[in-house]
Structure 1
Amino acid sequence: MKIVSYNLNGIRARLPRLVEYLDEQKPDVLCLQEVKCADEAFPIADIRAAGYDGIWHGQKGFNGVAILTPGAPPKLRRMGLPGDPDDSHSRYIEAEVESEAGNIVVASIYLPNGNPVGTEKFDYKLRWMDRLRAHALELLAEERSTVLAGDWNVIPTDDPDDVFSARAMASDALMQPESRAAYRRVLHLGFTDAIRARYPDGAVYTFWDYTAGCWQRDAGFRIDHLLLSPQAADRLLDAGVDKEYRGREKASDHAPTWVALEG
């Protein structure tokens, strides 16, 4: 069972790439982030024509998340992260997905970027991550196979395995000690980082900026993560990044990042 996280950076701009990916890779679950369109503008007809259906939580011009599955859509469990009823950002959607080895809870997550540091945007990022930790603890209490998939907007370490240049990114919100500590607080609840479980060593990047020839120089970093509950980690077969899709025409600046689970 292949579960993919893919920040599209605008579903309408990348629709050909999305349909192409569905056709070529045929994922069992595709979690999208940064779809950047209102609910009524979500191109569900094109997605259905490609053999998929889905659920989505949109926002005009910004943010937006979705979960796609072949045939029928997954069962919606939650739209929006609990803990702040006034939060207007569309950054979290959660579903139950059928599986031969037992149904799986899957969340598509688009964490706040947080830049610039020292502003309300950074404070919002940290508050949002605290809310995510609280909800992740509730999910773990269900003792079910659970995958938290998405663009976490956190580079976990200074290691070249995670970032092309820690010095170049030092002032970015993605690298701040507070951001990393918040990420670790979720991870250390008992989740497994699928990519690092599969590749404990070596550079594995998921994002390359459009500027300064970052893609051509392989100047990337890892911010797209799939965290597995213990029950999901027991089913782990493989994980990776479909890097070639970043190099295609009018591609997203993220590459699809995935985990394969038994069943």
Structure 2
Amino acid sequence: MKIATWNVNSLKVRLPHLLDWLAATQVDVVCLQELKCEDKSFPLAEIEAAGYRAVFNGQKTYNGVAILSRSEITDVVRNIPGFDDEQRRIIAATVNGVRVVCGYFPNGQAVGSEKFEYKLRWLTALTDWLRAEMAVHAKLVLAGDYNVAPEDRDATPEWHDEIHVSVPEREAFRALLALGMTDAFRMFDQAEKSYSWWDYRMMAFRRNVGLRIDHLLVTDALKGEVKSCVIDKAPRKLERPSDHAPVIVELGG
């Protein structure tokens, strides 16, 4: 079972890329972030024609998340229960016995800003809810754009002490791990300077100046099933790409 996460940075713009990528990779489940479209505008017909079912939680212009699956999708939850939030950042569902949580974590704008404080509150609410989810669903994958580079090796030096790499954000990431989850990407030897996001400006992708902020965390019950975890940089090389690359984890019993 292959599960992917991809911030497409506008589903409308990136739909041709997504459809081509689905056909080429045949992944089983895809968690999408930053749809930037309302539910009524979600391209369900095109997704279904590609062989996928879909559940989504959209918002005009900003945010928005979706789960695509080649198998049945059940027990859908939208947003963090009990957390009052107008922003559409979470969708969760069960696929083939695995609880899949897709999240578009807040950016935070700048350390110390109001948006940064919102990010930390959101992360706390997410962690508290996931603790309850994991008590019910032993096999769970938390996939998404976390907007957190958890270690120094996950960011180029230009990002020292900036947003995405600050101590509070990294502590929040470790709190997720402390629930009983593992960063699937770091279960394997990886190349140095492995990133999943590159700014559109200053030829950042060509220079490989980026961040690893797109993650797939797996619970202890799934850890033994993880066969590989890779960043697929191919879509980032296309014309008009998302600034993020997909990340794929392969599970096998």
Superposition TM-score tier, normalisation by shorter sequence: over 0.9
* Alignment partner of 1:216 is 2:206: yes
Name the structure 1 match of 2:110.
116
Name the structure 2 match of 1:105.
99
Name the structure 2 match of 1:135.
129
Counterpart-to-counterpart distance in 2, 1:199 and 1:128: 31
Of 238, 244, 251, the match for 1:248: 238
Q: 1:6-21, aligned counterparts within 5 Å?
A: 6-21=6-21
Counterpart-to-counterpart distance in 2, 1:120 and 1:232: 36
Partner secondary structure for residue 60 of structure 2: coil
Of 89, 94, 100, the match for 2:87: 89
Partner secondary structure for residue 46 of structure 2: helix
Structure 1 residues 43-52 or 59-68, which shifts more? 43-52
Identity of aligned residues (%): 42
Name the structure 2 match of 1:164.
156
Counterpart-to-counterpart distance in 1, 2:137 and 2:190: 26
Q: Residues 170-200 of structure 1, C-alpha deviation per residue, up to 9 Å, x if partnerless? A: 3432111111111111112210100001236
Name the structure 1 match of 2:215.
225
How much does 1:202 deviate? 2.9
How much does 1:243 deviate? 1.1
Q: Residues 138-196 of structure 1, C-alpha deviation per residue, up to 9 Å, x if partnerless? A: 1222252110000000011122xx1122xx21343211111111111111221010000
Counterpart-to-counterpart distance in 1, 2:126 and 2:45: 32
- The count of residues paired between Structure 1 and Structure 2 equals 253
Query: Unpaired runs of 5+ in structure 2?
Result: none
Q: 1:52-91, aligned counterparts within 5 Å?
A: 52-70=52-70, 73-84=72-83, 86-91=84-89
Q: Is the 8 A contact 2:193 2:208 kept in 1?
A: no
**TM-score with structure 1 setting the length:** 0.93
Partner secondary structure for residue 114 of structure 1: coil
Name the structure 1 match of 2:38.
38
Of 106, 119, 144, the match for 1:125: 119
Aligned CA-pair RMSD = 1.3
Q: Is the 8 A contact 1:109 1:150 kept in 2?
A: yes
Structure 1 residues 172-181 or 221-230, which shifts more? 172-181
How much does 1:204 deviate? 1.8
- List structure 1 runs of 4+ shifted beyond 3 angstroms: none
Q: Residues 183-229 of structure 1, C-alpha deviation per residue, up to 9 Å, x if partnerless? A: 11111221010000123663321111100000110111100010000
* Alignment partner of 1:191 is 2:181: yes
Q: Is the 8 A contact 1:143 1:231 kept in 2?
A: no
Q: Residues 9-51 of structure 1, C-alpha deviation per residue, up to 9 Å, x if partnerless? A: 0000101001011110011000000001001001111111111
Counterpart-to-counterpart distance in 2, 1:124 and 1:224: 20
Counterpart-to-counterpart distance in 2, 1:180 and 1:155: 7
Q: Is the 8 A contact 1:246 1:254 kept in 2?
A: yes
- Letter of the 2:16 counterpart: P
Name the structure 1 match of 2:193.
203
Query: Unpaired runs of 5+ in structure 1?
Result: none
Partner secondary structure for residue 212 of structure 2: coil
Q: Is the 8 A contact 1:106 1:147 kept in 2?
A: yes
Q: Is the 8 A contact 2:74 2:94 kept in 1?
A: yes
- Letter of the 1:89 counterpart: Q
- Letter of the 2:91 counterpart: I
Partner secondary structure for residue 12 of structure 2: coil
1:60 to 1:76, Cα distance in 2 relative to 1, 3 A: farther
- Letter of the 1:172 counterpart: E
